[in-house]
Amino acid sequence: MENAAINLTQAARRVQLLRINGYSATANRQNLVTSCTIAVGGYDWLIEVFPAAYYHGTSSRNSGPYIKLRFTLSSDGECTVSATFRCRLVDDHQINQTAASASSSFKEVIVTSIFSNGQPKDMFLVSRSYASEYRYVQPDDSLLIECAITVLLEAPVNAAAAAAAPPPTSVPAPLSDLQKHLGEMLTSKNGADITFLVSGEPVAAHRCVLAARSPVFMAELFGDMKEKDSQSIEIKDMEAEVFRTLLHFIYTDTLPEQDDDDVEAETMAYGLLEAADRYGVERLMLICAEKVHAGISVDTAAMALALAERRGCTKLKARCIEFILASQDNFHAVAATEGC
How far, in whole angstroms, is CA 31 from its chain's centroid? Answer: 13
pLDDT of residue 103: 44
Among residues 153, 170, 196, the one where a domain terminates is 153
How far lies 249's CA from each of 209, 238, 260, 265, 272, in Å?
A: 11, 16, 20, 15, 10
Residue 165 domain flag: no
pLDDT at 60: 47
Q: Determine the structural domain holding residue 121 and report its residue range.
A: 10-153
pLDDT value at position 186?
A: 94
Does residue 312 lie within any of the structural domains?
A: no
Residue 96 within any structural domain of the chain = yes
Shared domain for 48 and 129, answered yes or no, is yes
CATH number for the domain harbouring residue 282:
3.30.710.10
Domain co-membership, 241 together with 125: no
pTM of the model: 0.48
Q: Which residues, 6+ apart, have CB-to-CB distance to 13 below 8 Å?
A: 40, 148, 149, 150, 151
One domain, residues 286 and 224: yes
Which letter does DSSP use for residue 297 in this model?
Answer: -
Q: Is the dihedral of CA 82, 181, 252, 278 positive or negative?
A: negative
Q: What angle do CA 222, 239, 280 make, to 5 degrees?
A: 40
Please indicate, yes or no, if residue 328 is contained in any of the structural domains.
no
Does residue 187 share a domain with residue 119? no
- Same domain? For 113 and 197 the reply is no
Residue 318 domain-assigned? no
pLDDT value at residue 102: 45
Whether residues 133 and 26 fall in one domain: yes
Residues 118 and 199 in one domain: no
* Tally of structural domains, the chain: 2
- Residue 97: what pLDDT? 59
Residues 109 and 144 in one domain: yes
Mean pLDDT in order along the chain per 10 residues (340 residues): 73 93 87 86 92 68 78 87 93 62 63 89 88 88 93 66 61 84 93 94 95 93 81 92 95 83 77 89 86 79 80 78 86 75
Please tell me the predicted confidence (pLDDT) of residue 247: 96
- pLDDT for res 91: 81
Amino acid identity, position 200: G
Query: Do 109 and 149 reside in the same domain of the chain?
Result: yes
Q: Is residue 1 part of a domain?
A: no
Question: Among 28, 17, 257, which residue's Cα sits nearest to residue 138?
Answer: 17
184 and 66 share one domain:
no
In a domain, 143, yes or no: yes
**Beta-carbon contacts of residue 316 (< 8 Å; ≥ 6 apart):** 289, 292, 293, 304, 307, 308
CATH number at residue 132: 2.60.210.10
Specify whether 50 is located in the same domain as 106.
yes
Clarify whether residues 19 and 147 are in a common domain.
Answer: yes
**271 within a domain of the structure (yes/no):** yes
